[in-house]
Amino acid sequence: MMEDLSQDEWQEQLVDDANAVILDVRTDAEVADGIIPNAIHIDIYKGQEFINEIEKLDKSKNYYVYCRSGNRSGQACKIMDELGFENAYNLEGGMLQWTGDVVDK
């Protein structure tokens, strides 16, 4: 299942989810500006390499996916849905609207 969540919904759901994995699909240059704590980074612009890396992940986990604005993460969630992941949640507004914690990668 793929779902778009508002910033508040995404953060609230993430806090209570023991099965959560945060996924950052931005470029290396974007990630250099800071990353959400504990996120794993796989750049969606890497095409087939992105698919290969995504395929290695545990499909039974709940993935909270974000990018800069919410567009690429939406695409990533669709791809994950097609690959058989149980749950992928897209952060609407992405890092542009993020008010939570950010750490250096």
Q: What element of type H or E holds 20?
A: strand 20-24
Per the confidence metrics, is the pTM higher than 0.85?
Answer: yes
Q: Dump pLDDT digits (tens) for 7-37.
A: 999 999 999 999 999 999 999 999 999 999 9
In this prediction, residues 45-52 reach a mean pLDDT of 97
pLDDT exceeds 90 at position 105: no
Q: Dump pLDDT digits (tens) for 66-100.
A: 999 999 999 999 999 999 999 999 999 999 999 99
Quick one: pLDDT at residue 21? 98
Structural domain boundaries of the chain? Answer: 2-96
Judge whether 24 and 16 are in contact, CB under 8 Å.
no
- Residues with a catalytic annotation lie at 67
CATH 3.40.250.10 for domain 2-96, yes or no, is yes
Q: What element of type H or E holds 89?
A: strand 87-91
